[in-house]
Amino acid sequence: MTNRDPYRDERATLAAENDRLRAEVAALRAQRLQRRARVALALCLFALHVAAITYVPNLINARDDGRVYLGALASVALLALDAWAAVRWFSQKVTDQP
């Protein structure tokens, strides 16, 4: 058989193309899931900030020492969570694909 034969068997090249396309679709799905996870994490952080803005000042200005320490610990924990999220978001590889 020659390459110009109209009845040549192209199953091998079609299977390779199919595998390449499946790998590309899997990579795009993974990127989409990562994007959704980032949005969900950002929304959770926003909700946590709203709760902190509401409750932490009351804890820090409380009359007993336990609540003051709890408010300070909540503030430090929130700052640590923000630092972790910033490192996670800004250290990820940026892709050129849209």
24-56 pLDDT, tens digit per residue, is 998 888 888 777 877 888 888 888 888 888 888
Residue 13 has pLDDT above 60, yes or no: yes
pLDDT at position 97: 53
Side chain identity, residue 11: R
Residue 7 has pLDDT above 80, yes or no: no
- Residue with the bigger pLDDT between 18 and 33: it is 18
Query: pLDDT band at residue 4, thresholds of 50, 70 and 90?
Result: low
Integer Cα distance of 40 and 45 in angstroms = 9
3-state secondary structure of 93: coil
Question: What are 85's two structure tokens?
Answer: 């999220």
Tell me the pTM. 0.54
* pLDDT, mean of residues 2-26: 81
Average pLDDT of the chain, as a whole number: 81
Please name the residue ranges forming H helices in the chain: 11-60, 65-90
Going from N- to C-terminal start, the domains of the chain cover: 11-90
